[in-house]
Structure 1
Amino acid sequence: MRKLHYIAPLAFALALTACGEATEGETGANASGSVEAVEAPAGQKWSETVSKTDAGGIVMGNPDAPLKLVEYMSITCSHCKDFGEQAFLPLRDNYVESGQVSFEIRNFVRDPLDLSAAILSRCGGEAPFFPLTEQALSYQATMFEKAQSMGEATYSDILQSPPDSRFVRLAEQLGLIAFFQQRGISEDQAKACLADTAAAESLMDATQKAIEDHNIEGTPTFLLNGQKIDGTNWAMVEAKLKEAGAK
């Protein structure tokens, strides 16, 4: 298990690096005829069917959807932000709601800034995870500005503080606690989540497992039915969904 204190020596610049392009992989989609829509149970919507997965991600949609799309994403990744802006609404409204596709996000934490934001995006449980993640991505530029103005000395001092206070201090400096407070996560709740070292270690372990199991090298990276697909933008991912029979 990767212990939490291992991230303390990370250089200040690491938190500000741009995410890398996802590596190309095998396509998990094969043309196999159309996938039929599946109605949600009476009084429910598939987009409101949200749960945690065994892999540590959060999945939205029909649990038995024939097409299972997974995104390994980082809140500090500009390409992930672009994908969110392009994809979240059409993916939800056109594919998840039809019951044909489920969509799972697995946090791939790259740095302490990303880890702090990921912890807070999960702090309210599964139900608000997707809107909180989408809004956290929109805060990316402000977060980077605040990190730059913090300075390397302050950043290094924060990372040398005890694990149960490290991410509380960092999130305060980045304005993340106030940002999430405006979105329904109270200050006390946010601080409790950020002080939970087990939750932080779980996210880091899941990232390590993604590297080992799927050779994830950059974000965003997508799996369709368990196999990597090429592309980091919505047009390319949607094309693969259609190739697999989504309509």
Structure 2
Amino acid sequence: MKSSKQAARRQQAKRRRNRRIAIAAGAIVVFLGVVLAAQLTNGRGPVAAPAAPTVSASAGGVRTGELAFVRREQGDPMAVGDVDAPVVLVQWTDMRCPYCAVFNRETLPVLRREYVDTGKVRIEIHDVAYFGEQSEDAAVAARAAAEQGRFFEFLSAVYKEAPEKGHADLPRERLIAFAAKAGVPDIERFTADLDDAGLRAAAAASNSGAERLGVTSVPFFVAGGSSLSGAQPIAVFRQYLDAAIAKAG
């Protein structure tokens, strides 16, 4: 009985994630101009977003006027920080991206300490798979870790051992080893989830949504109606987030 209830809860959680993905994919195309503008700046700084897409306060818990791919869902395993934080920093990341690894190792811990832990910013992750089949498998693996509440720990384990140049080699057996390092409690379940069709479909939908958006390089960020690309220095992120917080009032 207990296992059947747990399975039902997992299925409900997957359905909620699929609904969030559908909402984001439907709105994300409108935001294309932001990303193209950011790419034209070659990652030198934040670029203001045009109006829309926005959603009402009743849609998925996000606030009126907020971009539709901001989730603000309590218990979201791919997010960290207060669900009611003034600002949500949305990040697109690929687990084989060396610059994503740099951000995760050097910048994310500072942002969590200075902005997330103080209740100013919430961080929500969208996975992409831009570097081949292993990127796709790694995105599924990260979601499998998220199923057991170890999403950020899994990302940290992968990025900690990423090469300084080139793309990490992430075969199946290494993904399982990273899950163990990340403290995923049930490795047998994690291994089975690597073949879960629902998790793979959710990862594929996230990736295709980013492609439609025009996110052609990662890491990529959106906060407070402006975008930022690349593994920028911490000073750039502080300026970027401080401006978004000030705008949020």
1:49-198 to 2 correspondence within 5 Å?
Answer: 51-52=75-76, 58-110=78-130, 111-125=132-146, 127-141=149-163, 170-172=171-173, 175-185=174-184, 186-198=186-198
Q: CA deviation at 1:50?
A: 6.8
What secondary structure does 2:75 align onto?
strand
CA distance, structure 2, for counterparts of residue 146 and residue 229 of structure 1: 27
What secondary structure does 1:210 align onto?
helix
Letter of the structure 2 residue corresponding to residue 51 of structure 1: G
Q: 1:125 to 1:50 in 2, by over 3 A?
A: farther
Q: How many residue pairs align between the two structures?
A: 176
CA distance, structure 2, for counterparts of residue 145 and residue 60 of structure 1: 25
| Structure 1 stretches of 4+ moved >4 Å | 142-147
Q: CA deviation at 1:224?
A: 0.7
Q: CA deviation at 1:75?
A: 0.6
Higher relative contact order (CA 8 A, sep 6+): 1
Q: CA deviation at 1:132?
A: 1.5
| Identity, % of aligned positions | 23
Please, what TM-score do these two structures have when normalized by structure 1?
0.62
What secondary structure does 2:222 align onto?
strand
Letter of the structure 2 residue corresponding to residue 64 of structure 1: D
Letter of the structure 1 residue corresponding to residue 215 of structure 2: I
Q: Deviations over 1:87-115 (max 9, x none)?
A: 12111111001111111111111222122
Deviates more, 1:61-70 or 1:118-127: 118-127
Letter of the structure 2 residue corresponding to residue 95 of structure 1: Y
Q: 1:27 to 1:232 in 2, by over 3 A?
A: farther
Please, what TM-score do these two structures have when normalized by structure 2?
0.62
1:84–1:134 Cα contact (<8 Å) kept = yes
Q: CA deviation at 1:144?
A: 5.5
Q: Deviations over 1:25-78 (max 9, x none)?
A: 7236xxxxxxxxxxxxxxxxxxxx9733xxxx8221111211111110111001
CA distance, structure 1, for counterparts of residue 193 and residue 233 of structure 2: 32
Instruction: Name the structure 1 match of 2:18.
Output: none
Q: 1:232 to 1:27 in 2, by over 3 A?
A: farther
Q: 1:80 to 1:230 in 2, by over 3 A?
A: closer
Q: 1:145 to 1:218 in 2, by over 3 A?
A: closer
CA distance, structure 2, for counterparts of residue 101 and residue 84 of structure 1: 16
Q: CA deviation at 1:121?
A: 2.1
Gaps of 5+ in 1: 1-21, 29-48, 148-169
Q: 1:131 to 1:191 in 2, by over 3 A?
A: closer
Gaps of 5+ in 2: 1-37, 50-72
1:65–1:101 Cα contact (<8 Å) kept = yes
